[in-house]
Amino acid sequence: MAKFVTRKSALGQTSIGNHGTSSQIGADLSAVTTDKGHVVIGLNIANVHTATVTVDIAIVASDNSKIHICKSTSIPVGGNLDLVDGKIVITDTSEIHGACSVSNKAEVIVSVLENA
């Protein structure tokens, strides 16, 4: 049965890592049921710093291949960025990872429909 979840995380300064590393957002999403996936329906990043920050968000597969949703994207002071205009389907072996130019100065909220 599908369920809606929202995860909040502060982005660290480390670059986007490999599958299963600390740059993962929403690490506690439920396991995907066979023949189903997670559907990302919202992904918003807010700059909580006193200067402009740059962020990277990517989907990382189990073979460590990366598909960037945004790369080196600037967010001005007090600004935010809404990255999902529609839906993004994530397979059972993929993860969402993120990084910020200044540790913990960008906060991300991801809204996911699990096992859809």
Range of the domain at 10: 3-114
Secondary structure letter of residue 67 according to DSSP = E
Q: What pLDDT shows up at residue 38?
A: 83
Check residue 31 and give its pLDDT.
55
Mean pLDDT (whole number) for 91-104:
86
Counted domains in the chain: 1
For the entire predicted model, the pTM comes to 0.83
Residue 41 and residue 15 in contact, taking contact as beta carbons nearer than 8 Å: no
pLDDT at 112 over 60: yes
Q: How far apart are CA 108 and CA 46, in angstroms?
A: 6
Give the count of beta carbons closer than 10 Å to the beta carbon of residue 4: 11
The kind and range of the H/E element at 59 are strand 53-60
| CATH number of the domain enclosing 102 | 2.60.120.340
pLDDT digits (tens, 9 = 90+) for 29-78: 555 566 777 888 999 999 999 999 999 998 888 888 899 999 999 999 99
Instruction: Please give the span between the terminal C-alpha atoms of the chain, in angstroms, as a whole number.
Output: 8
